[in-house]
Chains A and B, each alone.
Chain A
Amino acid sequence: MADGVLFEFLHMEMVSHVFKDQQSTNGEMNNKDRAVCTSVLEGMGFRVGQGLIERFTRDSPSFKDELDIMKFICKDFWTQVFRRQVDNLRTNHQGTYVLQDNKFVLLTQLSSGKQYLDDAPKYLAYSCGVIRGALSSLGLDSVVTAEVSLMPSCNFQVT
């Protein structure tokens, strides 16, 4: 069984590689380049999220409704993937959910200085993809975005 720390190191290196790669072909990094990198990482996460659910829910009962699925994501899924449970789940009961994780595992390695806030989205793109992939395999099409205002806490928005 692979140690969780290995995933963290691999993830960090993946982000670094994707961004460095894009930078070297284009010289400088502009918003479009950043968007390409984010989209590459998100796409990788998507396939992984699908794969994780395919293996997990083979023997589990199906879910009652959307909220049930979101609770599963916040508890069982989050625990196995991000090694803790979501701290807070909010919804407007109209298809939008906000998942708040106060100590997001992939942000804890980064310094919490303000200058790193700008970089934080780089480290969330893959996870957004994983969540979107998982939801997709559970029958929910969604858009997942993440927002950080105070490291290492972050909010994932699912619509």
Chain B
Amino acid sequence: MLMFCCCLLQNSELFTLTYGALVTQLCKDYENDEEVNKQLDKMGYNIGVRLIEDFLARSSVGRCQDFRETADVIAKVAFKMYLGITPSVTNWSPAGDEFSLILENNPLVDFVELPDNHSTLIYSNLLCGVLRGALEMVQMAVDVRFAQDTLRGDNVTEIRMKFIKRIEENLPAGDDQEERKMVFY
């Protein structure tokens, strides 16, 4: 357990504790871990599709040229900005369409221990949804999942991200094809 020695409340504690209260509530509301995992992913997705705007507004990051650049931006800019950590990017697939984010420590799980009857709970699953939702808004369909989790006894937390495909923008149906608007940056 990490003990903070300073006397000041950290803003992160509010987020971490709130997240903990949310997971606890979901475990009460739903019968099994699988359902809770699904809800966390869904909620994360809803957050991600909005968080991306905040991110783009505050980070002045331009459009990424490829998936490798996306990975770097996620690890070095986004994670740093929102969670104050910089995961490392490793384990690239030969095709360059899949990589891992390794988190030495995961701020969401400070002070958290999984009780025995929740061995299949993916506690931080909200993060997967957030990443998926955010990237969808910049035209990337990705698959995000936890490959390792310190809460379940692994040494590190590993998030695996796979590029599925580029999403074509939904153009408004119209007779005049020149009326297409690029809702993009």
Contacts and interface: CB of A to CB of B under 8 A. Distances in A.
A11 B21 CA distance: 11
B16 interface: yes
A30 interface: no
A48 B84 contact: no
Nearest to B28: A40
Contacts of A7: 11, 14-15, 18
Nearest to B107: A2
Contacts of A62: none
A132 B11 CA distance: 19
A2 B84 contact: yes
Interface in B1-57: 4, 7-22, 24-25, 29, 39, 43, 46-47, 50-51, 54
Nearest to B44: A13
Nearest to B9: A80
Contacts of B11: 1-4, 7, 80, 83
Nearest to B19: A10
Contact of A1 (B7, B10, B25, B46): B10
A125 to B, nearest CB: 13
Given A48-B21, A59-B7, A9 B12 contact: no
A56 B9 contact: yes
A55 B8 CA distance: 9
Nearest to B7: A59
Interface in A1-58: 1-7, 9-11, 13-14, 16-17, 21, 40, 44-45, 47-48, 51-52, 55-56, 58
Given A55-B9, A59-B7, A44 B22 contact: yes
Given A1-B12, A59-B7, A81-B9, A6 B82 contact: yes
B82 A77 contact: no
B37 to A, nearest CB: 14
Contacts of A47: 17, 21, 24
Contacts of B54: 5, 9
Contacts of B7: 56, 58-60
A38 B11 CA distance: 24
Given A1-B12, A4-B11, A77-B9, A51 B82 contact: no
B81 interface: yes
Contacts of A4: 11, 15
B14 A17 contact: no
B147 interface: no
A17 B18 contact: no
A60 B6 CA distance: 11
B114 interface: no
Contacts of B18: 7, 10-11, 14, 44, 48, 126
The 5 A-B pairs of least Cβ separation, nearest first, read A80-B9, A2-B12, A2-B15, A44-B21, A1-B84
Interface of B: 4, 7-22, 24-25, 29, 39, 43, 46-47, 50-51, 54, 81-84, 107, 126
